Chains A and B, each alone.
Chain A
Amino acid sequence: MVSYMKPAPITKKYFTPGVFVLMLIALNGIAFLLGRLFFGIGAVTHLNNQYPWGIWIGVDVAAGVALAAGGFTTAALGHVMHRSHYHDIVRPALLTALLGYTFVALSVSIDIGRWYYIWHPMIMWNGSSALFEVGICVMIYLTVLYIEFLPIVTERFINHVNLKGIFSFLNKPIERLLMLLDKGLSKVMFVFIIAGVVLSTLHQSSLGTLMVIAGPKMHPLWQTPILPLLFLLSAISVGFPMVIFESMIAARSFGLKPEMEILSRLGSIVPPILGIYLAFKLGDMFIRETFVYLTSFNTQSVMFTIEVLFGVIIPLRMFLSKAVLKSPLWLFIASCLVIFGVLLNRINNFVTAYTPPYSFSSYFPSFGEISVTVGFIALLVLLYRLIVFNFPVISVIDRHYTPRTKYAIRGSEQ
């Protein structure tokens, strides 16, 4: 039962063959990243004056932000609505969001030409810019995420501070500092939780506003004034499938039993959200009469069809089925489809739909770009593994059952 679960560091061997493969992929990405840092963006990417944004924005940033939506959706469910039975998945979702956003920030930094000026938006403001809003919100939200994660850190170290040698005199002050931090945080944490949800709502939608300004340069199948709403809805609808996806992966990877009860329940929330998203997407298509573009056979029409059919309609039907919700495999597949759909939607919006009037060739990401993107994902997985091995994130069966305290983010008794 849920009540008998308690977050704790995983105690297994960190290095497995899979980890080595991931490390190779990550190293390959880092190599191209160094190339970008020393020789400029043009040396590594296929970007040019016609196609200024590629997959580093489309996948790393836009899809990254969307797929990290599990953090705020579960926080809203677990903390704002106090559905306590979801508490066990809040911490992994939080960690995924934290790492996701960290890598979004990193990706943005390497994609912008002057990465060392990434702090400029903090003091140079442009209120009319959608990108400014996204940037500021992501910055604040990242901070909020770190603050939300702090209790896990204090929990790990309280009563465990044990510096050796000359630093041993610091043990006591640090211990007291941690206690103080823990106590203070527990009182104001709700502020950050709500702020996190609000900030996420804002920048998830503003991410959609980003491409509105491209106007006729964007293919009409995607270009619509309700892009921000579609982005928000798709982000919310991908939140729970993402949590299901990572819980299943983690469970398999760490040899735990998937928490099917929670996950099935989560899955049952997906259809209404996904349905609303689909309704808006199709409704918009019919109001603007853009379905005429589907009759011609080109990259855009094919990609749109795949996105809507495999990314929204099929998984929606799957989530509506009780049998799917109960079967770990089918639930996993359905979640994967939603994730694939949103990932493809972001790629489509930022890359496929971007058809400038004057171009010499069409854009396809270079090996370097793909390497960096895949390398980042590998690095993210490795870091996730490293953190759950050292911090109480994933709930395991607790032998000493104790009642829960007010905020599950702290998750343990004091």
Chain B
Amino acid sequence: MEKQSRREFFKTTAIVGSAIAGLSSNSTKAAPKNILSEDRMGVLVDTTACIGCRSCEWACKTAHGIETQSLEKYSDRTVFKNMRRPDVNALTVVNEYANHQNAQLPTDVKIQCMHCDHPACVSACIVGAFSKQENGSVIWDTKKCIGCRYCMVACPFQVPSFEYNKAINPEIKKCDFCFERTKVGKLPACVEICPVEALTYGPRNDLIKIARERIKRNPDKYFDYIYGEYEVGGTSWMYIGNQDLRNVAFPKLGDKPAPGVSEAIQHGIFAYFVPPVSLYALLGGIMWITKNRKNSEEE
């Protein structure tokens, strides 16, 4: 093999290498919006106050333009017979669980997106259609989404849902913390309607203090645990109740952010594109050496 070709080899390798490096510097800029503001808002759900009236379900549907029956029809309690999950037609649902301290007073738990501080969906989404906003909302952008449903795989709370029966522009549906309402100074629809203010909207840090105070004042009434304070690195929605909600309404999750391990691996493999470029160089080296050896054998 002639020398020119060898020089060419290096030249081309260098060009490809720098092109990939350039790619990497771009990709760091291209990360989706993921703000963790000190003043981010949250909701404290006091399940001891919740009466299971499901007004929040009605308000949510109304605020998001989902068809619904009249509010008066929501007093039907037979729906509690089966566990329900949020889906495309109901971004939030209330489930009812037995309360062993007082069988007369079941525990009602509203389920919706928890708006994680370190959201798995934001980390996972292939096109960065999810973003964590400054006010704590985790929202989804229809202009970017390609419908791959990786967010649904990633979500530790099993929240996002998908319009499986739409052929064109199916959407990912999940609670958006009423981003359109809070943007103009309104409360989230569910918080606004709740007749007993079981949902308290406020700065997340204040809510934790309030929750602790309530538990301290009524140690008999509350199980001493704030669900969501540390779960998967903390969530904007937090729950207190008369029993350990990890046994009834919520999964037992560690305090490590859900995307933690995956991102560590990702960033390990792609640390400034060093590993791929080194592999490229290594393979190039092997190729060159073996080629030389082969050539010399032939000569």
Contacts and interface: CB of A to CB of B under 8 A. Distances in A.
Nearest to B9: A190
Given A39-B167, A125-B128, A213 B144 contact: no
Nearest to B173: A49
Contacts of A1: none
A127 B167 contact: no
B196 interface: no
A49 B165 contact: no
B69 interface: no
A42 interface: yes
Contacts of A38: 167
A120 B9 contact: no
Nearest to B166: A40
A132 B147 CA distance: 13
Given A48-B164, A131-B126, A209-B262, A112 B283 contact: no
Contact of B153 (A53, A108, A188): A53
A52 B145 contact: no
A contacts with B: majority SS = helix
A404 to B, nearest CB: 11
Interface in A271-323: none
Contacts of B252: 216
Contacts of A191: 12-13, 16
Contacts of A214: 153-154
Nearest to B12: A191
A40 B124 contact: no
Contacts of B286: 80-81
Interface stretch (B99-107, B182-190, B202-210, B264-272): B264-272
B199 interface: no
Contacts of A217: 153, 156, 158
Contact of A198 (B32, B265, B276): B276
A37 interface: yes
A76 B283 contact: yes
Given A50-B85, A126-B128, A187 B251 contact: no
Contact of A358 (B85, B88, B262, B280): B85
A43 to B, nearest CB: 7
Which of B5, B120, B153 is most buried by chain A, counting CB atoms within 10 A of its CB?
B153
A129 B125 contact: yes
A127 B5 contact: no
Contacts of A114: 145-147, 169-170
Given A216-B253, A358-B83, A358-B158, A129 B258 contact: no
Which of A39, A117, A197 is most buried by chain B, counting CB atoms within 10 A of its CB?
A117
Given A128-B263, A129-B125, A40 B153 contact: no
A165 interface: no
B47 interface: no
Contacts, number: 208
A209 B26 CA distance: 22
A197 B126 contact: no
B270 A133 contact: yes
B230 interface: no
Contact of B124 (A43, A129, A190): A129
B290 A126 contact: no
Nearest to A47: B164
Contacts of A76: 283
Contacts of B280: 194-195, 198
B287 interface: yes
Contact of A41 (B16, B160, B170): B170
B291 A213 contact: no
B63 interface: no
Interface stretch (A200-208, A256-264, A326-334, A372-380): A200-208
Interface residues of B, number: 71
Contacts of A53: 149, 153
B162 interface: yes
A358 B109 CA distance: 15
A118 B127 CA distance: 10
Contact of B30 (A45, A79, A80, A126): A126
Contacts of A117: 145-147
A396 B202 CA distance: 75
B234 interface: no
B158 A120 contact: no
B279 A40 contact: no
A193 to B, nearest CB: 8
A130 B124 contact: yes
Top 9 nearest A-B pairs (CB, nearest first) are: A113-B147, A42-B164, A125-B30, A52-B152, A52-B149, A126-B128, A124-B127, A82-B290, A113-B170
27 contacts: A40-B164, A52-B153, A80-B286, A112-B148, A114-B169, A114-B170, A124-B129, A125-B31, A126-B125, A129-B150, A129-B266, A130-B124, A131-B148, A131-B150, A190-B284, A191-B13, A191-B16, A194-B283, A202-B269, A202-B276, A211-B153, A213-B124, A214-B154, A215-B258, A358-B83, A358-B85, A406-B1
Interface of B: 1, 5, 8-9, 12-13, 16, 26-28, 30-32, 83, 85, 87-88, 120, 123-129, 144-150, 152-154, 156, 158, 160-167, 169-170, 251-253, 258-259, 261-263, 265-267, 269-270, 276, 279-280, 283-284, 286-287, 290-291, 293-294
Given A126-B31, A213-B261, 4 more contacts: A39-B167, A112-B147, A112-B149, A198-B276
